[in-house]
Structure 1
Amino acid sequence: MPGFTGEAGAALAFLIGYLAIFVWMLFLFLTQRIKWASRYTLLFFHVTIRVASQACGIGFGILGFTNTNLFLAFLILSAEGYFSLVLCAFRFLISWQQHNLLSGQSWLEPPDPPNTNRSRRFFAFLFLGPFAFILYPRNPMVGLHSALLLANVCIIIGGSYLAGADYSDPDLPDTKRRLQISKITRTTGQSVFLLGNALLLVLILATMRNNRRDGDSRSKTGTIHPTLWLLLLAWFPLIVRGVFGILQAAVYSLSYFNPANYRASGFTHRFTIIEYLLGVLTEWLACVILNLTFFTSMRDPKRVKLQNGDEGAGDHGLAHPHKNQVAI
C-alpha cells in the first residue's frame, strides 16, 4: 500500500536542501551578482537536475513500484547530477586560473590560436571523443570532457539495459546476461569518473603549489588563495561519491538492481541510509562548498578575453585590458 516511507522523508530533506541552494543561486543571478555566462551556470544546472531527482525520489518513496517510471527517472537524473558536478569542479578550477594567474590564462584550457576552425574541431571531438586530444594537444580539457561524457553514456546505458530484466528470478539466463553487461558498462563509466576525480586532486594541488610560489591577483606570494582551499575541500565529498559509485556498480549487494535492497514499498532502510549518505549527501556538500567560492572570489579581477590571437600579458605580469582585449 503506497504511503510516506523513510525513503520519501530522506528525499524530501534533500529536496529542501537543494531548493535552498536553488533560491540562493537564482537570487544571485537575478541581482546580477553572478552572470549567466559563467561557471555558476553549470552549477545551477546541477542543482536543477538534483531538485528534479529528489522530487522523483519522493514520488517513488510514496508510490513504490506502482510507478516504475519515477524510479527510472530518479536513477537517470541522479547519474546526470553527478556527471554535471564533476564537470563543475573542473570548470571552477579553470575559472580561478583565468581570473588569478598572472598570464590571465588557464594552462588547463588555453585560448584557441588564431584562425581556429571551430566546426572542424567540433566534429573531431564528436567522432574521436577523448582521442581528439591527439589533434588538439593544446587543450587537454577537451579530452577530459569527452572522456567524462562517454563515461556518462556508459552509466546511463548500463542502468537502462537493466530496466527490462525479470528480477523475480535472478537465475534466468537473460537476467544474468543483463546484470553482467550492466555491471561492466557501469563500472567502466564510474571508473572514468573516479580517475577524473583523482586527476582533479593532482591539478588542484599543482595549482596551489604554483600559487604559493608565484602569487596571484592579490599580489601576494607564499600564501594560497582561499578559493583553492575550498576547491580542495570540495574534492573530499566528490572522491567519496566516486568510490561509492564504483562500489555500487561492482558490488551486487549495493546495487539498485538487487531485489534484497527493496521492500514492497521501495528501498529498505539500510539501502536508503547508504544511498543518501554516500550518494546524495556527498554531492550536496560539494555543491555547497563550490557555492561558497562566491565569497572568496569577490575581489578577483575580471577575466580578460583575448582577441585577434593576443596571448595576454605573459608570464610575469598581470594581464590588463587594452585595445585588443575586452574585460568581462
Structure 2
Amino acid sequence: MCYQETVHRVAILVYDGVTLLDVAGPAEVFKEANRFGAEYLISLVSPDGAGVVPNLGFRMAVDGPPGPPADTLLVPGSDLFPRTPVPAALAGAARGQEAKRVASICTGAFILAAAGLLDGKRATTHWRVAHELAARCPSCRVEPDAIYVRDGATYTSAGVTAGIDLALALVEEDHGPDMAREVARMLVVYMQRAGGQSQFSAPLQGPAPRSPALRKITDLVTADPRGDHSLDALARHLNVSTRQLTRIFHDELSTTPARYVETIRFDLARALLDQGHTATQAAAQAGFPSYESMRRVFARTLSISPAAYQRRFRTTKKAHLEKPPPSPVP
C-alpha cells in the first residue's frame, strides 16, 4: 500500500531520555529521500509540546505536541525501557496520534505496547529485551531475531541502527525499491530488502545494476536467498540464455551469477550465526545446499570455519558487554 499523496507527514515522538540515533537515523533517510523526489515533511513532537533532553544530555527543541493525524508516526526507543514503566502521557500521545502508519525503533515497541497498539500483532525489539516485551504484551507474538517486522500498518524494528533499515523499508513501500536503493547508497549503508523470509541487509557492493533485467535478478536473490538460483533457473526467469546472463553479470557486476548468489547467502549465514543460530540452521536458512558447502565458503572467504566465526563473535560481544564504563574525567 502506498500512503503518498502530495506531502507525507512524518511525526517523530520524542521524550526525555530518547535515544538520539533512533531519531536522527530515520530522519536522515526521509530527508535524503526528498532529494530524489519524495515529499516527507518531518516534525518532532513531544507529549506536552515542550522541548526534551535526549540520552546525550543536551536540550532539543520540538515542533509542538502531536497535531492532526500523521501519515507515519515514528516512535524511537530509550534505555529507560523496560527498566521503568512507560509514562501514561507518552503512551497516550502515541495512541492519540491516530497515524495511518505506526513504526517503532528498538525499545519504542514498549511505548506502542503500553498504548495498546501491538495487541494481537507480531512485533520485534532489541534482542536483549525481547523477552520483556513478550511479558509486557502477552497478546503480541514477539520475533526476537528479526531486524524489523510488519503487521498491517504497524512496524517494529530491532535495536539502534535497525531504525535506518526500517526507514529504508518505509521509503521502499512509498516510492519503490529504486529510490530506497539510491538513498541507501547516498548514506553508505546496507539496503534492507523486504519481502523475503529472512530479513537481512544485503551489501551494496559496487555500482547498482544498470539494466532493469539484472536488477530484477539481484532483487530476486536478495529477497529470497533460499530459492532456486541456479544458473539455469535465473536464465529462465529472464528468458535469456545462460551464456547471455553470465555475460551481463560480468559486464555490470564483474562477477558470475553463482558467485553473486554465494555472496548473498554468505552474508545471511553470518547474520544468522551472529544471532545465535547453529551452523546447520544457518546453512539451511541461508540457502546453502549443505553445511559443507557453507563451510567451504567461510574457509575461502574468512579462512575460518563457521563454528570458529561464531565463537569469535560471541567472545567479542561478551567482552563488549562486560567491559566496564570508562572512569569519569576529573
Task: Settle same-fold status: TM greater than 0.5.
Answer: no
Of Structure 1 and Structure 2, the greater helix share is in 1
Q: Which has the higher strand share?
A: 2
Q: TM-score, normalised by structure 1?
A: 0.24
**Larger RCO (alpha carbons 8 Å, 6+ apart):** 1
